[in-house]
């Protein structure tokens, strides 16, 4: 079965203007256009697709949200493998793993992973929480703003245990902005200082407005197939060395330890074990940055530094352009775009870095990339370790 | 008229909310492993036993983490800003989300000892909140 080894052969994201899809579009249209672009990037056609994976916040309200069923009809395809697993913004790192297994097992030959959101155009984002049913009855009545409140609770606990400072968290947004300044497609490209982050409103103290990701529209697609099929395609394939997933809780009070991102620890260990690479082998990392604290917790949980050492590591500037630890090289959810579930953009950027397509922000000679998605309220994690041929 | 979101009581949670209505903080405890848990559920999260009982908690704990909400979780919470949302580590072990009330949010710290108090928000629903000891 060695010739069925799964690889990534196409990626695309939706162009944005001021964080919105120019001219407007439905979430289905956003995904259809991204899918067509990603297939063109690979040199494949929609009729080649026989595996469909998606997760999103769009859907027909009412019982039974059936996203792959809805999308296959819209795209006019008949997938023989589908996966709509939704573990939050990390779902797409999970989808790469699941698609790889399906391809290698022969359940499909060409897998399409999509995401689309028009949350900014629709003004559909709010902090008001979910109806206080089931487990939410122990959270929503107390007025926790979601999702920022859960992340702010983790930030406070990390500060308490390790002495992490608001300045250290702010430096993450600053380093990320420097990458965005090198990316013409990023939404926020103006200069940013630690002082500006700290003087933005402390919406969920200790987190400030500029500790939070953007709210934008967006869409993306990824195409995977077998290594053998990839030989005839347009671009050099990107190898999938390892993947892992984990989930721990939904209500923030049930997080195993608010100062440690257990889901990332577990998913990362699984991905590193499968890949058989070491931390020092990684040339570029793409970490989910819904909030600055998400990045710090991910860095520590994946073992790139000791627990508690993340604040000093990130404040050193090592992760900014020119540093020895290139991170979130497209400008991240903090400055590039964040359409609700960001995980697919980590993968798209990693693939482009490994292909050497990143222009001014290109990490020199990037051979191995690690993507880690975080979903829910620090609830789930999924890691992919990718490599160029 | 109370306009904030109210818990939607279900068979799992009915004894808990019946307890708060009488100003008692009840916790499920496992008869097999002896540990308390929160929130109430069908199986003990520690040992997966279904041999559970309700016991009255001390109502004491400490602040595990907290935030100061300067922006509300929706318009109905706006008049409360700034308000404190906290996770309490109860003396019995489990953690629960709540508000810290009756104090200036700027004086709240992780680790402070707290005690439960009860806010009757409707005739049916009483929310447990906590104040500094």
Q: Residues A59-79: pLDDT tens digits?
A: 888 777 899 999 999 999 999
Instruction: Check: CB of residue A220 under 8 Å from CB of residue A8.
Output: no
B110: alpha, beta or left? (left if phi > 0; alpha if psi -120 to 50): beta
Top CATH class of A146-208+242-388 equals alpha beta
Instruction: Check: CB of residue A105 under 8 Å from CB of residue A224.
Output: no
Task: From B21, B22, B57, select the one nearest B39 (Cα to Cα).
Answer: B57
Answer yes or no: do B7 and A138 touch at CB < 8 A: yes
pLDDT at res. A3: 80
Alpha-carbon separation of residue A142 from A230, B19, B26 (angstroms): 53, 18, 18
Answer yes or no: do A141 and B127 touch at CB < 8 A: yes
Alpha-carbon separation of residue A99 from A67, A331, A370 (angstroms): 16, 27, 18
Residue of A nearest to B86 (CA): A153
pLDDT at res. A60: 82
Question: Is omega for the bond preceding A147 within 30 degrees of 0, making it cis?
Answer: yes
Q: CB of A212 within 8 Å of any CB in chain B?
A: no
DSSP state of A332: I
CATH fold label, A2-124+217-240: Peroxisomal Thiolase; Chain A, domain 1 (3.40.47)
Cα separation, A40 vs A234, whole angstroms: 9
- Bigger pLDDT: A142 vs A64: A142
Strands (E), B20-112: 26-30, 52-56, 60-69, 83-90, 95-100
- Tell me how close the Cα of A261 comes to any Cα of chain B, in angstroms: 15
Domain ranges within chain B, ordered by starting residue: 14-132
**Predicted confidence (pLDDT) per residue in B99-129, tens digit:** 999 999 999 999 999 999 999 999 999 999 9
| Per-residue pLDDT band at A106 (split at 50, 70, 90) | very high
Tokens representing A95?
């989808």
A 10 A CB-CB count for B82 gives: 15
User: Which residues of chain A are within 8 Å of residue B65 when distances are taken between CB atoms?
Assistant: 153-154, 156-157, 160, 258
Which of A132, A143, A203 lies at the smallest CB-CB distance from B6?
A132
- Stretch (H or E) spanning B15: helix B14-21
Answer yes or no: do B67 and A253 touch at CB < 8 A: no
Answer yes or no: do B97 and A143 touch at CB < 8 A: no
Domain ranges within chain A, ordered by starting residue: 2-124+217-240, 146-208+242-388
Q: CB of B90 within 8 Å of any CB in chain A?
A: no
- Tokens 């290594």 correspond to what residue? A227
pLDDT at res. A124: 77
Q: Which DSSP string do the residues of A20-52 spell out, in sequence order?
A: B-TT---HHHHHHHHHHHHHHHHT--GGG--EE
**Predicted confidence (pLDDT) per residue in A308-351, tens digit:** 999 999 999 999 999 999 999 999 999 999 999 999 999 999 99
pLDDT at res. A268: 98
**Predicted confidence (pLDDT) per residue in B17-68, tens digit:** 999 999 999 999 999 999 999 999 999 999 999 999 999 999 999 999 999 9
**Predicted confidence (pLDDT) per residue in B47-58, tens digit:** 999 999 999 999
* Mean of pLDDT values over A124-138: 85
**Predicted confidence (pLDDT) per residue in B62-91, tens digit:** 999 999 999 999 999 999 999 999 999 999
Answer yes or no: do B99 and A251 touch at CB < 8 A: no
Q: CB of A160 within 8 Å of any CB in chain B?
A: yes
Alpha-carbon separation of residue B96 from A24, A118, A310 (angstroms): 42, 35, 28
**Predicted confidence (pLDDT) per residue in A2-59, tens digit:** 589 999 999 999 999 999 999 999 999 999 999 999 999 999 999 999 999 999 999 8
Cα separation, A347 vs A355, whole angstroms: 12
Question: Which residues, in sequence order, are bridge partners of residue A54?
Answer: A114
* Mean of pLDDT values over A88-103: 98
- Tokens 């109370």 correspond to what residue? B2
A 10 A CB-CB count for A150 gives: 30
Q: Is the pLDDT of residue A1 over 60?
A: no
pLDDT at res. A127: 67
DSSP state of B100: E
Interface of A with B in 49-88 (CB under 8 A): none
For chain A, the C-alpha Rg in angstroms (whole number) is 19
Answer yes or no: do A156 and B65 touch at CB < 8 A: yes
Which three-class secondary structure state does DSSP give residue B9? coil
**Predicted confidence (pLDDT) per residue in A355-388, tens digit:** 999 999 999 999 999 999 999 999 999 999 999 9
pLDDT at res. A2: 55
Same fold? A2-124+217-240, A146-208+242-388: yes
Instruction: Tell me what the pLDDT averaged over chain A comes to.
Output: 96
Q: CB of A143 within 8 Å of any CB in chain B?
A: yes
- Tokens 């036993």 correspond to what residue? B49
| Per-residue pLDDT band at A240 (split at 50, 70, 90) | very high
Q: Is the pLDDT of residue A126 over 80?
A: no
Alpha-carbon separation of residue A10 from A185, A208, B102, B119 (angstroms): 19, 37, 57, 56
Give the number of beta-carbon pairs within 8 Å between A and B: 120
């Amino acid at each position: 079965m060695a010739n069925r080894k799964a690889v990534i052969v196409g990626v695309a994201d939706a162009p944005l203007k001021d964080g919105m899809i120019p001219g407007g579009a439905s979430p289905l249209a956003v995904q259809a256009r991204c899918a067509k672009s990603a297939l063109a990037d690979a040199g494949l056609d929609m009729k080649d697709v026989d595996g469909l994976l998606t997760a999103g916040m769009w859907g027909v309200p009412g019982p039974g949200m059936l996203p792959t069923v809805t999308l296959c009809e819209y795209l006019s395809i008949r997938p023989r493998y589908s996966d709509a697993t939704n573990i939050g913004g990390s779902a797409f790192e999970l989808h790469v793993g699941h698609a790889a297994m399906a391809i290698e097992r022969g359940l499909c030959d060409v897998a399409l992973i999509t995401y689309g959101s028009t949350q900014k155009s629709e003004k559909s984002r709010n902090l008001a929480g979910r109806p206080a049913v089931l487990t939410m009855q122990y959270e929503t009545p107390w007025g926790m703003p979601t999702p920022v409140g859960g992340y702010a609770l983790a930030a406070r606990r990390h500060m308490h245990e390790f002495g992490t400072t608001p300045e250290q968290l702010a430096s993450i947004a600053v380093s990320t902005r420097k990458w965005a300044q090198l990316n013409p497609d990023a939404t926020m490209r103006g200069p940013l200082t630690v002082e500006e982050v700290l003087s933005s409103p402390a919406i969920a103290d200790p987190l400030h407005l500029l500790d939070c990701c953007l709210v934008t529209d967006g869409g993306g697609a990824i195409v995977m197939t077998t290594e053998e099929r990839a030989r005839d395609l347009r671009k050099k394939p990107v190898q999938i060395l390892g993947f892992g997933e984990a989930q721990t809780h939904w209500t923030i009070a049930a997080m195993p330890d608010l100062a440690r991102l257990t889901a990332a620890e577990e998913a990362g260990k699984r991905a590193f074990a499968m890949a058989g690479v070491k931390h020092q082998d990684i040339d570029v990392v793409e970490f989910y940055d819904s909030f600055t604290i998400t990045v710090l917790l991910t860095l520590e949980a994946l073992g790139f530094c000791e627990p508690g050492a993340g604040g000093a590591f990130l404040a050193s500037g090592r992760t900014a352009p020119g540093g020895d630890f290139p991170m979130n090289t497209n400008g991240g959810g903090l400055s590039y775009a964040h359409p609700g579930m960001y995980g697919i953009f980590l993968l798209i950027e990693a693939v482009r870095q490994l292909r050497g397509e990143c222009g001014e922000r290109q990490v020199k000679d990037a051979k191995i990339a690690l993507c880690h998605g975080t979903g829910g309220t620090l609830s789930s994690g999924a890691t992919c370790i990718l490599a160029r041929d | 008229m109370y306009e904030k979101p109210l818990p939607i009581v279900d068979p799992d949670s009915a004894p808990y909310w019946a307890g708060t209505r009488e100003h008692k903080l009840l916790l499920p405890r496992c008869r097999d492993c002896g540990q308390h848990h929160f929130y109430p559920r069908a199986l003990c999260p520690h040992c997966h036993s279904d041999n559970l009982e309700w016991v009255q908690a001390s109502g004491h704990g400490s602040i595990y983490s907290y935030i100061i909400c300067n922006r509300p979780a929706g318009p109905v919470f706006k008049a409360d800003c700034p308000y404190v949302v906290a996770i309490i580590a109860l003396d019995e072990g489990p953690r629960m989300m709540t508000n810290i009330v009756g104090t200036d949010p700027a004086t709240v710290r992780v680790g402070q000892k707290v005690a439960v108090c009860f806010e009757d928000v409707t005739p049916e629903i009483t929310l447990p909140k906590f104040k500094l000891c």
